[in-house]
């Protein structure tokens, strides 16, 4: 029997050492306290092991000392553990008091050999061998009272905690409390029964193991379950848990309210979910689907996610479904996408989105024929200027609305920029009638203002759908730019001619530099005469002696360079030529003047005043001999700045001529503010007027007006003697036209004048 117990105690000691070490190494905060408590249980067991094995009184006494002092150590650590485990703060005073009592007890026990007041030993026979049993005296009673007192305090702490904690926490306390009580009762039994071998040491071992398990290893499942359950209930998503048979076993409150059932009606979950979201037959084990209920602004968006739940062995244990109401996020996202893809003013597609939609449409319908159209509002700037920007905005919105109502189904359209719109029309839906009726004009009304807007349409028929959409629109735009007769023609198609024109433009643009340096571009001089037919000057007009294409009139290259801005190079060259000629004439014909043309683009790309004044200074010419021809279109943008430039020219001594007067728009309106010296009236614009008498009246009025404003007049395009005479009678001062001479090279001109 003694041998068996010796084995059991040894095993207990080993187990307690292991628990103590593991508790010490654990990262839990309570680890060191648990390590101390489990370690403190070792001396009493060790003491008993010695007692069990001892065959002499001396060895037994050593065993009892280890046991008694060990018990103090146990009580000390137990108290410390109780405070920490139950999260109670120990006062400094209490700690000192208890420690003093333990010290007193140890001292009095150690004094036993001298006073024999604590305990004695009596020899009995156990297992045929001498066994030394404890005989307690007064000092032993003190030791017991102290240890039981501490035990009682510990029990009270645990009982208090057990009673005052929520039910879910009770497990933590009740298990330890129960074990403590059992061990204490067992130990008490042995103390009072005085049975030789103290079997309650087994209880110590078990107690140590339980302390270790519950403090370090144990995860309070019920507590966790309850916490997780509460967490799931508080989540905004609707959650449904199903067992392996697809039977709903739990749903959180958002889930219950989503399908409008109570906790007792979980049987209805599947049926209700199917009714609301349809039957989802995903083959994947886990899936996510988006679901919309309702339409338009009432639509609700949900995200459904199914997950499989597995047990510790990774076997399927059930599944859960989460349903998230994504409506707000979805709406915000849709609004953001809408804002990014739709024009704010008109609500039409933006250019980028339109191109994207067209790309998608073309690749989805490779066999279908489509047209791409570029729609431009004619003189939209004037609408803004004359009425207001608000009216302009209203006009654009009206156009957008009419595109929605008038275009056949299957068309795509959007706003490309300010007053231009892009369209994709199925070829089968397009007809000239449609284009003329819906796309060439529109009536804009706001309050009392009613305005008839004209629109031009450039159309490109898609032959190769692989071509980039932006190139298609470039082609449609090119077609649009060929509309010259602004009022009669509204629609132009991209064709080979236009393509050739594009190639031609590229071709001559690449050659301009060489043409200037090699002097292929030559100035021609068209004489200007006075009332008596005497040549007083000339207009310089560019001609190109092209090595490959022969003699080119300005109509072949000037518009190209005006569009791409290269006109600046050409004009600067022409201005220099004019200065060279004037400088050469200096002594021979000092009275002759030369007029040079300034393109509207020159104002954008160069400082015209600076350039020209620099030139006249370089060649030493009187600025009066160089006349500056500008057209009304120069004034169409940044009118104030442009006027300031013209004033600068005049201040520097140049004469400013308004070229092609009458061909633009608000000529008369502009005239009164324009800082010009000469009005060049183009006879061609009168050609539009059928009746001779009417033309004469208009001409007379313009001439009178210019005289009233103190502006000299020059009529260009005079072709007949009759015209010349009539104009002279009306008071026109200067004339230019084929009637006198066509533009000619310098030598011819010099001969003409001499
Ligand atoms: P523009 O400045 O109005 O020049 C007058 C144009 O009318 C010239 O055409 C001239 O040849 C033509 N013309 C003159 N008298 C008559 C006539 O009696 N009947 C008819 N039917 N036409 C007449 P051109 O030389 O072909 O020049 C056309 C336009 O090209 C010019 O119009 C001008 O705007 C532009 N241009 C010509 N050279 C230059 C230049 O060096 N720089 C710039 N920026 N533009 C130029
Ligand atoms: Mg001119
Ligand atoms: Mg002209």
pLDDT tens digits for 297-319? Answer: 889 999 999 998 887 777 888 88
Look at residue 62 in the predicted model and tell me its pLDDT.
92
Q: With beta carbons less than 8 A apart as the criterion, state whether 266 and 255 touch.
A: no
For ligand 1, atom 12, the nearest C-alpha belongs to 717
Look at residue 494 in the predicted model and tell me its pLDDT.
92
HSE, CB side, 13 Å, CA atoms: give it for residue 284.
7
Give the whole-number percent of the chain exceeding pLDDT 90.
Answer: 49
The environment of the single-atom ion ligand 3, i.e. residues with CB closer than 5 A, is 659-660
Q: Which bound ligand lies closest to the C-alpha atom of 572?
A: 1
Question: Cβ of 676: how many Cβ atoms within 10 Å?
Answer: 24
Domains in the chain, please, with CATH? 2-218 (1.20.1070.10), 223-330 (3.30.450.20), 344-494 (3.30.70.270), 508-753 (3.20.20.450)
Annotated catalytic sites, by residue? 716
Listed range (37-46, 175-184, 555-564) with the worst mean pLDDT: 175-184
* Three-state DSSP class for residue 313: coil
Structure tokens at 527: 């004489």
Average model confidence (pLDDT) across the chain? 88
Distance 559 CA to ligand 2 centre (A): 14
**Top mutation candidate among 522, 524, 537, 554 for ligand 1, by most atoms within 8 Å of CB:** 554
Highest-scoring range by mean pLDDT, 454-458, 483-487, 567-571, 586-590? 567-571
Provide the pLDDT confidence category of residue 667 given band limits of 50, 70 and 90.
Answer: low
Look at residue 286 in the predicted model and tell me its pLDDT.
86
Look at residue 221 in the predicted model and tell me its pLDDT.
65
pTM above 0.95, yes or no: no
Paired with 570 in beta bridges are: none
Look at residue 742 in the predicted model and tell me its pLDDT.
96
Look at residue 541 in the predicted model and tell me its pLDDT.
97
Top pLDDT among 87 and 54 is at: 54
Distance 734 CA to ligand 2 centre (A): 14
For ligand 1, atom 21, the nearest C-alpha belongs to 717
CA distance 632 to 600: 9
Q: With beta carbons less than 8 A apart as the criterion, state whether 282 and 306 touch.
A: yes
Q: Which bound ligand lies closest to the C-alpha atom of 661?
A: 3
| 313 Cβ contact partners less than 8 Å away, ≥ 6 residues apart | none
**Top mutation candidate among 516, 521, 541, 749 for ligand 1, by most atoms within 8 Å of CB:** 541
Listed range (34-43, 140-149, 283-292) with the worst mean pLDDT: 283-292
**Top mutation candidate among 529, 597, 715 for ligand 1, by most atoms within 8 Å of CB:** 597
What are residue 245's phi and psi, to 5 degrees?
A: -95, 15
Distance 239 CA to ligand 1 centre (A): 82
Q: Which is the closest atom of ligand 1 to the Cα of 659?
A: 3
Q: Which bound ligand lies closest to the C-alpha atom of 595?
A: 2
Provide the pLDDT confidence category of residue 123 given band limits of 50, 70 and 90.
Answer: confident
Residues in the chain: 754
Residue pLDDT, tens place only, 130-147:
888 888 888 889 999 999
pLDDT for residue 688 is more than 60: no
Q: Residues with beta carbon inside 6 Å of ligand 1?
A: 526, 541-542, 553-555, 558, 567, 571, 574, 597, 599, 659-660, 716-719, 736-738, 743
The mean pLDDT of 657-686, rounded to a whole number, is 79
Q: Which is the closest atom of ligand 1 to the Cα of 738?
A: 18
Distance 738 CA to ligand 3 centre (A): 13
Distance 703 CA to ligand 3 centre (A): 16
For ligand 1, atom 30, the nearest C-alpha belongs to 554
| 547 Cβ contact partners less than 8 Å away, ≥ 6 residues apart | 520
Top pLDDT among 350 and 661 is at: 350
Residue pLDDT, tens place only, 196-236:
788 888 888 888 988 888 888 776 666 667 777 777 777 88
Q: Which bound ligand lies closest to the C-alpha atom of 528?
A: 1
The closest alpha carbon to 564, from 505, 524, 640, belongs to 505
The closest alpha carbon to 603, from 630, 576, 621, 627, belongs to 630
pLDDT for residue 551 is more than 70: yes
Listed range (283-292, 364-373, 409-418, 685-694) with the worst mean pLDDT: 685-694
Look at residue 679 in the predicted model and tell me its pLDDT.
92
Provide the pLDDT confidence category of residue 345 given band limits of 50, 70 and 90.
Answer: very high
Look at residue 747 in the predicted model and tell me its pLDDT.
95
Dihedral-angle region of residue 638 (phi above 0 means left; psi in -120 to 50 means alpha; beta otherwise): left
Instruction: For residue 420, give the H/E element and its range.
Output: strand 420-426
Give the whole-number percent of the chain exceeding pLDDT 70.
Answer: 96
Residue pLDDT, tens place only, 642-653:
999 999 999 999
Distance 441 CA to ligand 3 centre (A): 31
Question: Cβ of 36: how many Cβ atoms within 10 Å?
Answer: 18
Provide the pLDDT confidence category of residue 556 given band limits of 50, 70 and 90.
Answer: very high
């Amino acid at each position: 029997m003694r041998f068996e117990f010796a084995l059991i105690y040894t095993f207990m000691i080993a187990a307690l050492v292991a628990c103590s070490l593991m508790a010490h190494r654990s990262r839990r905060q309570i680890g060191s306290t648990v390590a101390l408590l489990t370690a403190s249980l070792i001396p009493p067991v060790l003491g008993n092991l010695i007692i069990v094995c001892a065959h002499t009184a001396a060895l037994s006494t050593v065993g009892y000392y280890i046991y008694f002092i060990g018990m103090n150590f146990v009580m000390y650590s137990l108290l410390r553990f109780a405070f920490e485990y139950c999260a109670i703060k120990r006062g400094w005073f209490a700690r000192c008091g208890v420690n003093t009592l333990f010290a007193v007890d140890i001292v009095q026990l150690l004094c036993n050999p001298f006073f024999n007041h604590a305990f004695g030993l009596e020899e009995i026979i156990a297992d045929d061998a001498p066994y030394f049993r404890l005989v307690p005296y007064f000092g032993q009673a003190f030791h017991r009272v102290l240890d039981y007192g501490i035990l009682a305090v510990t029990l009270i702490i645990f009982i208090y905690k057990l009673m005052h904690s929520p039910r879910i926490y009770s497990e933590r306390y009740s298990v330890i409390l129960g074990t403590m009580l059992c061990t204490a009762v067992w130990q008490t039994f042995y103390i009072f029964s005085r049975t030789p071998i103290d079997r309650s040491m087994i209880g110590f071992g078990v107690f140590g193991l339980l302390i270790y398990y519950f403090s370090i290893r144990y995860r309070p499942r019920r507590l966790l379950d309850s916490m997780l359950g509460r967490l799931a209930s508080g989540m905004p998503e609707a959650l449904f848990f199903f067992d392996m048979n697809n039977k709903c076993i739990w749903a959180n409150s958002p889930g219950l309210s989503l399908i409008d059932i109570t906790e007792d009606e979980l049987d209805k979950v599947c049926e209700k979910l199917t009714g609301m979201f349809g039957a989802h037959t995903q083959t994947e084990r886990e899936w996510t689907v988006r679901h919309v209920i309702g339409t338009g602004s009432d639509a609700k968006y949900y995200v459904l996610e199914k997950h499989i739940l597995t047990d510790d062995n990774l076997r399927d244990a059930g599944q859960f479904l989460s349903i998230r109401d994504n409506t707000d996020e979805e709406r915000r996202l849709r609004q953001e996408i809408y804002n990014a893809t739709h024009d704010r003013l008109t609500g039409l597609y933006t250019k980028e989105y339109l191109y994207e939609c067209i790309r998608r449409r073309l690749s989805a319908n490779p066999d279908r024929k489509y047209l791409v159209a570029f729609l431009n509002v004619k003189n939209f700037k004037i609408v803004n200027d004359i009425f207001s920007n608000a009216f302009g905005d209203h006009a654009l919105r009206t156009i957008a609305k009419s595109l929605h109502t008038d275009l056949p189904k299957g068309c795509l359209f959007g706003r490309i920029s300010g007053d231009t719109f892009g369209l994709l029309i199925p070829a089968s839906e397009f007809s000239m009638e449609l284009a003329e009726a819906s796309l060439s004009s529109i009536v804009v009304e706001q309050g009392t203002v009613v305005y008839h807007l004209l629109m031009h349409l450039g159309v490109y028929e898609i032959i190769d759908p692989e071509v980039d959409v932006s190139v298609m629109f470039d082609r449609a735009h090119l077609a649009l730019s060929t509309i010259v007769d602004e009022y009669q023609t509204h629609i132009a198609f991209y064709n080979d001619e236009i393509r050739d024109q594009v190639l031609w433009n590229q071709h001559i643009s690449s050659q301009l530099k060489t043409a200037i340096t090699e002097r292929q571009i030559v100035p021609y001089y068209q004489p200007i005469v006075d009332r008596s037919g005497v040549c007083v000057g000339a207009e310089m007009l560019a001609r190109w002696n092209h090595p490959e294409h022969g003699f080119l009139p300005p109509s072949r290259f000037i518009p190209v360079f005006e569009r791409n801005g290269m006109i600046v190079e050409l004009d600067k060259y022409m201005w220099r030529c004019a200065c060279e000629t004037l400088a050469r004439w200096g002594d021979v014909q000092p009275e002759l003047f030369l007029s040079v043309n300034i393109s509207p683009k020159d104002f954008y790309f160069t400082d015209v005043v600076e350039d020209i004044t620099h030139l006249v200074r370089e060649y030493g010419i009187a600025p009066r001999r160089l006349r500056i021809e500008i057209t009304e279109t120069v004034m169409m943008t940044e009118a104030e700045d442009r006027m300031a430039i013209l004033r600068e020219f005049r201040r520097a001594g140049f004469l400013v001529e308004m070229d092609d007067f009458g061909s633009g728009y608000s000529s008369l309106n502009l005239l009164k503010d324009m800082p010009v010296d000469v009005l060049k009236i183009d006879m061609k614009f009168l050609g539009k007027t059928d009746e001779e008498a009417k033309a004469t009246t208009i001409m007379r009025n313009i001439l009178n007006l210019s005289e009233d404003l103190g502006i000299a007049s020059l009529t260009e395009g005079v072709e007949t003697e009759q015209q010349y005479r009539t104009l002279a009678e009306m008071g026109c001062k200067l004339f230019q036209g084929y009637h006198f001479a066509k533009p000619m090279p310098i030598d011819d001109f010099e001969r003409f004048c001499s």
